[in-house]
Structure 1
Amino acid sequence: MLDESRHFFGKTKVKQLLDLMAHYKLNKFHWHLTDSHGWRLQIKKYPKLTTVGGIGNFTDSTASAQYYTQANIREIVAYAKKRFIDVIPEIDMPGHATAANKAYPRFSGGSVVGYPNFTFDPSKEETYKYLSTIIKETNSLFPAKMIHLGGDEVFLGIQAWLKNPDIVNLMAHKGYKTPTDLEHYFFRRMGDTVIKLGSKVLCWDEAVETDLPANKTVVFWWRQNKPQSLKLALDKNYSVVLCPRLPMYFDFVQDSTHVSGRKWDSTTVVGYQLQNKYNTVQDVYNFPDKFLEGRELKSKNIIGIQANLWTETVDTEKRLDYLIFPRMAALAEAAWSTAANKNDITFNNKLKAEIEWYKRAGIYYYNPSKPAEHPEVIDFKPKKQIKH
């Protein structure tokens, strides 16, 4: 998964990543195109989403609008298809909506301190029509027939709903006791829109609570400190993609000496064998076998694994490559190798040859056996705490 809302990398870089994914037989490209810091997907019915919502990024709120036209999208999707890769768009809702609300403020669910216009307004029927149009245009561009609707971290801005009389009245009318109940109603409605278009709904693990139809929904488990969310998803018979922050977030540092990037702020994760607060190549390689309990590993509902690269701390292609390689090689091994066939020594020997290939290809990588070979690409300090 590549986040291009926080920082935009463009068509040439995405194609290069698709080439490298094909090299490793990775078959799904999850494209995070909308979030609080920028809307990157052209929607013809609502042009301000890109011309206004596409202005700025995580480091510069005044940066010129950057986004993909629908022609760009079709070109990249076709490029991926030739490499046997499905492209899955993410249109985040009802939270992480600040960029969209900058473009069309009438659909905003209000603001709280630190999270201005973070949600969509669930009380207006016009909101659902607006988002349904966006989903329909998006669906027409991506033949994989899968749309990721996010559904994560809505709690960051949801208290703003209680300040809006129309939203409070809707809650009372439907008998909802909390804004979270209304959040689930919202997500079910938008999920139903996706399903009626013949596509599957993909979502982060918070959305397990919304009771979307199990045969039409794929849950992405990202909160390794919430093992109960994974258990609930499996109990409800959802298909599940494993992408927990530890060890599958590639914006986390790779070594204890690295200073730029994220580390987990807690060592307490009940039931999981977490050694580090960061994500080494070796930990990625050994996922999920040395991280999950036997029942979960044996579940037929676990359909794959995914690495996520959030880009709050990634504003250059050089840093992007440094965080991805060689962990992309470890991801491929983790995805396609059985536990019985995994061997750390064998993998490390293969990695040496792969690093030689990176050299010839001109890729800026991290070498775990020779950390000084390529210095860490230092990034800025984030302006605020990163949540996801």
Structure 2
Amino acid sequence: MRRRLAVLLACALPLTAAAPAHAAPPAPAVALGSVIPAPVEVRPGGPGFKLTAGTVIEAPPGARAVAEQLGEALRLRVVRHASARTGKIALELGRVSGGPEGYRLTVKRNGVTLRAGTAAGLFAGAQTLQQLVPLRGARTIAGGEIVDHPRFGYRGTMLDVARHFHTPDEIKRHIDEISKFKINHLHLHLSDDQGWRIQIDSWPRLTTVGGAAGTGVDGVGGGYLTKADYRDLVRYAASRYVTIVPEIDMPGHVNAAQVAYPELTCDGIAPPPRTDTAVGYSSLCIGSETTYRFVEDVIRELAAMTPGKYLHIGGDEAHATTDADYLTFQKRVLPLVRKYGKTAYGWNEIAVAPEASTAVAQYWGLTTQNPALAAAVANGTKVIMSPANLAYIDQKYDPSTRLGLSWAGFIEVRKAYDWNPGTHLTGVPESAVLGIEAPLWSETLRDLDDIEFMAFPRLAGHAELGWSPAGDWESFRTRLGAYGPRWAARGVDFYRSPQIDWAD
């Protein structure tokens, strides 16, 4: 943390400080399009625009929030109207192609115009624009035009706060970083065998017992989100055009809930708390009406404080639940999500239930074959792609990685990037794929540095797979290497992969 403070203090130095006599020559402008994710269309040409102390950001009321964030990042003043002679970055709301997140960025000698149909599109374009401003030297943005929009509407990552609780401030910092790559969903894994991390008023011991000190893997990482904490996170994420997707895992992964409420077991006896990393041993009592009262209360309260459309009900690794009981459970629970106005979302195991035809299934398998999911897709189920051997960013980079697991294999940066979410799974056409998500499980994570080390740079590659039309490894590794100094300037503890030629 001392390193992070030093970096932040350094970044706070006045931008106008005089350069020493021995300073290196100014860095050239960043080539238009040399950003992550890669834009759909880049038309370089013409003189660039130089940011100066007099440059302003002009924005209408509907774009003010995006303009203020951009102004803070670039140290520029935001105005409603700028004079014709003032160099400016103009944000405009108006029709563009490419859906709600599409944008058009035009750079000329006398200014920059960023146009989008929605504030979300302006925010996406603003992330591109920030990457085009050199870190050092003259802040000249290369001339030309970018026309851009996403391949998939859902581009996400997951943070496990159940195995180890991560504080609201840590989650906010993570939101800041993921949103820079146009990731627009953050899935929070809020409950598991080792801990329960979200306040539920109708079942208060879930957090006072299930989120107490001593919960979590190895007995460290206790804590939970109050409802106020959660709503604040939802608002913070929304200001960066990130939607929170909450998950309560069931019918398995429920030991922490059963420790708090023994009536959720079939024999009424509380199991011992678990702080190990084993899976598959717990199950709600499928034949008990208490189970469904509990489940409905949790869904109702969580749905009420979640404005996003998705509510994730887990469903994976329910090895202690018989196949018949699993189907019985899903038949009762999937409609409950719809009852409270949300789209049900679960791990791909839920696809065996006919009620999953209106749900979203998150594929986490290791192969390119899953007949049950393919059959569900034929009946209407949509898919989020998260194959564990490619997209799980809690897996080690290589055998020497100090954090992470390796049950799904080692995942270096190229392996994480070099696959196609739209064609990966046999029998699942791209039209059924809503997008991609990179889960980050926290069995071995303890703090923000751990989160960042495992997430970055792989998460930048997953963001590009979700946004850009097609992957190009050689182009990506060049752009990624050039991005490294930006992480360093912000104090992000990223992994310096040997597959990448990192810029100084």
1:60 lines up with 2:224 in the alignment: no
Match of 1:5 in 2: 162
- Other-structure match for 1:200: 343
Q: 2:255 aligns with which of 88, 91, 98?
A: 98
1:217 paired with 2:359, answer: yes
Shift of 1:233: 3.4
Q: Percent identity?
A: 30
Quote the residue 2:458 is aligned against: 327
Find the aligned partners of 2:311 and 2:347 in 1 and give their Cα distance. 12
Alignment of 1:252-271 (within 5 A): 252-258=395-401, 260-264=403-407
Equivalent residues in 2 for 1:226-245, closer than 5 Å: 227-228=369-370, 229-245=372-388
TM-score by length of 1: 0.80
- Distance in 2, matches of 1:338 and 1:295, equals 21
What does the per-residue CA deviation read over 1:108-129, in whole Å, with 9 as the maximum and x for residues that have no partner? 1467997797111112212211
Structure 1 partner of 2:20: none
Contact 2:221 2:446 in 1 (8 A): no
Aligned-partner Cα distance in 1 for 2:426–2:280: 43
User: Once structures 1 and 2 are overlaid, which stretch shifts more, 347-356 or 222-231?
Assistant: 222-231
Cα gap change, 1:289 to 1:372, in 2 (>3 Å): closer
Task: Find 2:394's aligned residue among 220, 234, 251.
Answer: 251
Match of 2:326 in 1: 183
For 1:70, the aligned partner's letter is K
User: Which residue number in structure 2 is paired with residue 26 of structure 1?
Assistant: 183
Write the letter of the residue equivalent to 2:463. A
The structure richer in helix per residue is 1
Q: Does 1:278 align with 2:400?
A: no
Contact kept? 1:147, 1:194, Cα under 8 Å: yes
Alignment of 1:109-124 (within 5 A): 109=266, 118-124=282-288
Shift, 1:371, TM fit = 8.8
Corresponding residue number in structure 2 for 1:380: none
Q: Is the 8 A contact 2:246 2:312 kept in 1?
A: yes
The gaps in structure 1 that reach 5 residues or longer are 159-178, 266-276, 374-388
Deviation, 1:256, is 4.5
Pair 1:107-2:250 in alignment = no
Match of 1:299 in 2: 430
- Cα deviation, residue 91, structure 1: 0.7
Alignment partner for residue 439 of structure 2, among 303, 308, 315? Answer: 308
- 1:355 to 2:487 alignment: no
Give 1 or 2: higher strand fraction. 2
Question: For residues 335-350 of structure 1, what are the structure 2 equivalents within 5 Å?
Answer: 335-339=466-470, 342-350=471-479
Q: Distance in 2 between matches of 1:138 and 1:115?
A: 25
Q: Is the 8 A contact 2:413 2:457 kept in 1?
A: yes
Superposed displacement of residue 16, structure 1: 0.8
Q: Which has the larger radius of gyration?
A: 2
Judging changes above 3 Å, is the alpha-carbon distance between structure 1 residues 224 and 203 closer, same or farther for their aligned structure 2 residues?
A: same
Q: Secondary structure at the match of 1:79?
A: helix
SS of alignment partner, residue 313 of structure 2? strand
Q: Counterparts of 1:194 and 1:252 in 2: how far apart (Å)?
A: 31
Q: 2:283 & 2:295 partners in 1: Cα distance?
A: 12
Secondary structure, counterpart of 2:249 in structure 1: strand
Which string of whole-angstrom CA distances, capped at 9 and with x for unpartnered residues, describes residues 108-161 of structure 1? 146799779711111221221121011100001101131100011111x23xxx
TM-aligned CA deviation for residue 213 of structure 1: 4.5
- d(CA) in 1 for partners of 2:467, 2:192: 31
Does the 8 Å CA contact 1:3/1:311 hold for their aligned counterparts? yes
Read off the aligned partner of 1:118 and give its amino acid letter.
S
Per the alignment, in what secondary structure is the counterpart of residue 212 of structure 1? Answer: helix
Q: Secondary structure at the match of 1:93?
A: coil
Q: Is the 8 A contact 1:50 1:65 kept in 2?
A: no
